[in-house]
Amino acid sequence: MMADMSSGPGDHIPSDQDADQSWFRPPTRREHRIAAALFMGFGLFFVLLFVVEAGWPFRWVILALGLISILHSLNHLKNALKSPPP
């Protein structure tokens, strides 16, 4: 005889409506500024690494990562300016 495979208490798949909204708040201005500083630092590091690694073909990928990181930093700065003050 086989056990009944109907859904039990642990089989509930959470949906977006089940999520507690207090757990998933949008980032604050301060958090956007921190993220912008981190991404800018990483981006400048990669650009400087591109300069140091002259003659290495893979360095173009490093430059692309640096530029993407800097653009992401600018996006965080823009979001920091648009977000409401605390």
Q: Model confidence over 19-75: pLDDT tens digits?
A: 666 777 888 899 999 999 999 999 999 999 999 998 888 999 999 999 999 999 999
Q: Specify the DSSP element, H or E, that contains 64.
A: helix 59-82
32 in Cβ contact with 79 (< 8 Å): yes
Please give the Cα distance from 48 to 36 (Å, whole number). Answer: 18
- Whether 10 shows a pLDDT value over 80: the answer reads no
- Whether 7 shows a pLDDT value over 80: the answer reads no
Stated pTM of the model: 0.69
Residue 57 gets which letter from DSSP? T
* Residue (of 24, 35, 20, 18) closest to 72 by Cα position: 35
| Residue given tokens 């690694």 in the structure block | 53
